[in-house]
Amino acid sequence: MSGPDPFGARLRRAMDERGPLCVGIDPHASLLADWGLNDDVAGLERFSRTVVEALADRVAVLKPQSAFFERFGSRGVAVLEKSVEEARAAGALVVMDAKRGDIGSTMAAYAEAFLSRDAPLFSDALTVSPYLGYGSLKPAVELARESGAGLFVLALTSNPEGREVQHAVRTGDTGGRNVGATVLAHLAAENAGEAPMGSFGAVVGATLGDLSSYDLEINGPLLAPGIGAQGATPADLPGVFGPAVRHVVPNVSRGVLRHGPDVAALRTSAERFAVEIGAAVTAA
């Protein structure tokens, strides 16, 4: 019996059918307040259910930020489980933004929590950190392949602090390749020969400007935070990503979520971003 379709194939299909927009589910305290909700589990549940109801049947990807659920303890995690289940049932792919990174059996346990198909928090993909060495991600890579899931590996992030690690040149690298470029090279190797697109993507900030010095052609998706509140616009995408823009999954969180709790307003905002992103990518 054949296994599940790989994440890369499912994502490419969703992007072609629904457009590439990814919307975050980020119920931080200030946003709950803006929606007129209490900063408690009931507010969290109302917020998450509203976003899923508004968008899960029309955007390609929803990306819950695990931390904003975990801060409420087990009851918050239960809300996260339900949100993931309902979003996937409505047709959206779910990228769990948990940025896990560890070694050995601990990394394997993190992988099992989010990438095992029978796990309550099973997601289509998981964000992970490679900064204990790319090889430390091996348990997650192996389980993702087995379950048909994917990974988004932090490579060139939009936060200014990331430069001190990601732009550092590795000792002994005669080509002068920095750490971010090394991560991209590992991902290109993971995705080699996959069609229509590999399942192992990179997180690359849309706010970083011209990245033509990097080889972003990893045959995998590029999750691009920074659209909207962080200052990047859909029109910036071709200039940042060049030919790799066709594999970009632009992430918008506050730019859409600030229009809640009105479902129609959330949908209108997401549709506007989707149209602008589609036009920018098509024109590239």
Let me know if 99 is a catalytic residue: yes
Given the structure tokens 């508004």, which residue do they identify?
Answer: 54
Query: E-assigned strands of the chain?
Result: 22-25, 61-64, 93-100, 125-128, 150-156, 200-204, 222-227, 248-252
Query: E-assigned strands of 21-92?
Result: 22-25, 61-64
Query: Model pTM?
Result: 0.96
The residue annotated as part of the active site, out of 63, 82, 99, 138, is 99
Rounded to whole angstroms, what are the CA distances from 177 to 166, 169, 206, 241? 10, 6, 21, 19
Residue whose C-alpha is closest to residue 60's, from 10, 110, 1: 10
d(CA 143, CA 92): 21
Sign of CA dihedral 102, 197, 92, 242: positive
Given the structure tokens 């149209």, which residue do they identify?
Answer: 275
Supply the DSSP symbol for 121. T
Supply the DSSP symbol for 255. H
Measured in degrees and rounded to the nearest 5, phi and psi for residue 261 equal: -90, 10
pLDDT tens by residue, the chain, 284 residues: 467 799 999 999 999 999 999 999 999 999 999 999 999 999 999 999 999 999 999 999 999 999 999 999 999 999 999 999 999 999 999 999 999 999 999 999 999 999 999 999 999 999 999 999 999 999 999 999 999 999 999 999 989 899 999 999 977 776 788 999 999 999 999 999 999 999 999 999 999 999 999 999 999 999 999 998 778 999 999 999 999 999 999 999 999 999 999 999 999 999 999 999 999 988 77
pLDDT of residue 1: 45
What are the tokens at 209? 């400007």
Domains of the chain in sequence order: 7-283 (3.20.20.70)
Residue whose C-alpha is closest to residue 267's, from 29, 17, 21: 21
Q: Is the peptide bond before 261 cis (omega within 30 degrees of 0)?
A: yes
